[in-house]
Amino acid sequence: MVRRLRRLTGAHRVGHAGTLDPLATGVLPILFESATRLADFALRLPKTYVADIHFGFTTATDDAEGELQPVGDASALTERDVEEGLTAFRGRIMQEPPAFSAVKVEGERAYKLARRGAEPKPKAREVEVYEAKVLDFTSGPDPVARVQIRCGSGTYLRSIARDLGRQLGVGGYLGRLVRTAYGPLEIQSAVKLDALTNADDVRDVLQPAEVILPDMQPVRLNVEQEAMVRQGRAVRVLPEPGPGRLRAHDAGGRLIALGHTDPLRRTFVPEKVLS
């Protein structure tokens, strides 16, 4: 994605905000030029996924890429069983990343160790799941639950599928996975890569960088204030902003800088100034 869009547009800097698993599809934010410096803020946004979890089997990769290993008879599994099982995955939970993942184990990527036949054990880490619910359930000898998960950064849906199957005693792995939303960016307004054939196509669908900063209060700068902020100097803005992180815009509305309020001096203090 990044290579193709850099080639199409001639942009100096192009980046993405969060990878997808090889079998996954869905929303992938692409950042251009100075907006690439906002990737850290984008990664903090919640993501929403629709996933198919298959029961009765496990795989080494925790998804459909691996060879199926039968675990147990899942034919008696019901939608209520799955819904009740999902309650354990809501809120802040400790999660062990898949063996085939990019996390590092003793200084090396886990998937590289796994491909060499080792059995890496990535350390469990805390992730947050805001919502987990069943959308559809297909019963039978090979049951499948379609679930919707809204979660924070670093959450592995493959791990949820694996651990849910383990909890239900029948094994589980991840099938189809679609990222339907990335913060306020929804799949309905996403653009397919094959629809972008030249730089004008890309320009026509560009959105302002602040769409990935929905929780930051905006402040407006006049020309003199903008010049000071570009020098890294604090400025007094009216109306006075509240506490927390702020995003500053020039007189034309373009995003200029990110910063915070100094409550004592009652000023906007720039932290990151965009070119």
- The alpha carbon of 51 is separated from its chain's Cα centroid by a whole number of angstroms, namely 15
| CA gap 49, 219 in Å, rounded | 33
Rounded CA gap, 47 and 149, in Å?
8
DSSP-derived secondary structure letter, 212 = G
- 21 as an active site residue: the answer is yes
| Amino acid at residue number 184 | P
Strands 69-70 and 255-262: unpaired
One DSSP character per residue, 45-99 reads S-EEEEEEEEESEE-TTSBTTSPPEE----TT--HHHHHHHHGGGSEEEEEPPPS
CA dist 91 and 131 (Å) reads 8
Alpha-carbon distance of 231 to 33, in angstroms, equals 20
CB 38 within 8 A of CB 31: yes
Out of 21, 52, 62, 163, which one is annotated catalytic? 21
Name the helix (H) or strand (E) containing 150: strand 144-151
Selection from 241, 246, 243 nearest residue 256 by Cα: 246
* Residues designated as active site: 21
